[in-house]
Structure 1
Amino acid sequence: MASAEQLKALVRTIPDFPKPGIEFRDITTLLLDRVGLAGAIDALAASVIGPIDLVAAVEARGFAIGGALAVKLGAGLLLIRKDGKLPGKTIAEDYALEYGTDRLAMHIDAVAPGARVLVVDDLIATGGTALAAVRLVRRAGGLVVGARFIIDLPDLGGTAALVADGVNAVSLMEFEGD
């Protein structure tokens, strides 16, 4: 299995994206590496305690991680998308990001009451996206049993916000700053 430092070395930093002053942590280079991708999925799966019914993956990079993790955990995959992208009846949540606002949605009937759900995304920054996903799952009657990320930007406080909301949050690596 790849170590945390080996995985971290596969993440590239793109300065001034999507706007000046932001250091974008790009996991696409990690996803391209078959050993790194497998190591990341194995490490995320190993951090999960107890059965999971659904992995709630947040658009878009969260889909790549969530699909692989759902298969590894023997769970279904719940897609949480930008509002307006899903057919059928949906519920939606507005949220703030570190550089704007957005809205997430999921199918209203996607989560059975009491289902054990793990929220997954590639990165946690301020926590706005993850908290919106948590609120959606809870509104649908699901039990959020945790959240998993490849990258945490701890200086932006997202993990602390999830923990304050009662969510066990685990990331494979941290990058200081924003």
Structure 2
Amino acid sequence: MPNSKDLIIISASCGKNLELSKKFQEKSNELKFNSEILDLTTFDVPLFNPRIHKKENIPVEIIEIKEKLFATEKWIICAPEYNGSIPPILSNLIAWLSVSGDDFRNLFNGQPIAIATFSGGVGLELLTSLRIQLVHLGSQVLGRQLLSSFSKPVDIKTIEDILQRLSQMKKLKV
């Protein structure tokens, strides 16, 4: 099973998706993953603006997040659906990462990632949009995903299955 820094669970909200992230972490601990939650709402990162921000002035938080992501074998992203798509805090992180150095593509290229949501609405648009973006960046997005809402509670068996499948994936060397 997993070891070292195996799993990072990225939470793109401080509400239900943070709770979902904690459920993933609890189950990952049972399965002997060395995991941590990266709560994007705890970082004070400005909105990326290409007119203002250049490669020379990357926020320290982005550099730290990037180093952490490079050092982690597998990722899970838990995010709510915003206006039928990806939440701004997650889009902003990806935008910052994309200008944070010449190795941006290596960060995502071949990276095993699972995606999950707890959304007030359907949530399917988020999962579809996020999958399209991550695949475009070269990531290996797990086929199984978790979609939950107030009318569709989180299924712990789905969390366990996602973790088991993710544990079998390796970062592709490209």
- Whose helix proportion is higher, 1 or 2? 2
TM-score, normalised by the number of residues in structure 2: 0.46
Q: Which has the higher contact order (CA 8 A, sep 6+)?
A: 2
